[in-house]
Amino acid sequence: MTDQRKNLGAYGERLAEQHLIEQGYTIIAKNWRCSAGELDLVAQQGAELVFVEVRTRRGAYWGAPEESITPAKQTRLIRLAYTFLERWAEPDIAWRIDIVAILLDRRGRVSRLNHLISAVGE
């Protein structure tokens, strides 16, 4: 992955984190890693644990950011959520997987931030 792409992803994750905090979420973890992969953000909203996948694109040439969540990526996110739950969460806690899709204009300004709640399910 190029430095430019990493920087774009990190910028999007900071924007998503700020959005979630403004919406009353508490951030539990950032870039949580295990052998199965990485969760961008883990947050809590009330009594519910929220796993957040952040997708950021500069321009819509390759499609909307949320369109990049393939079935394989959805399966990986579910597996990551279960791994996190096994290691860190209370038994039977309510949880979901959200997507925050961010589209930037040519100058790097947010032209659209779309928070899709419960976007990935089993």
Identity of residue 14 = R
Inter-CA distances, 20 with 66, 80, 93, 99, 122, Å: 17, 20, 20, 11, 23
Q: 23-75, pLDDT tens digit by residue?
A: 999 999 999 999 989 999 999 999 999 999 999 988 666 677 788 888 999 99
Q: 95-113, pLDDT tens digit by residue?
A: 999 999 999 988 888 999 9
Query: Right CATH number for 3-120 from 3.30.420.40, 2.40.170.20, 3.40.50.300, 3.40.1350.10?
Result: 3.40.1350.10
Distance CA 41, CA 28 (A): 8
Output the CA torsion 66→79→71→33 (10° steps): 50
48-58 vs 94-104, strand pairing mode: parallel
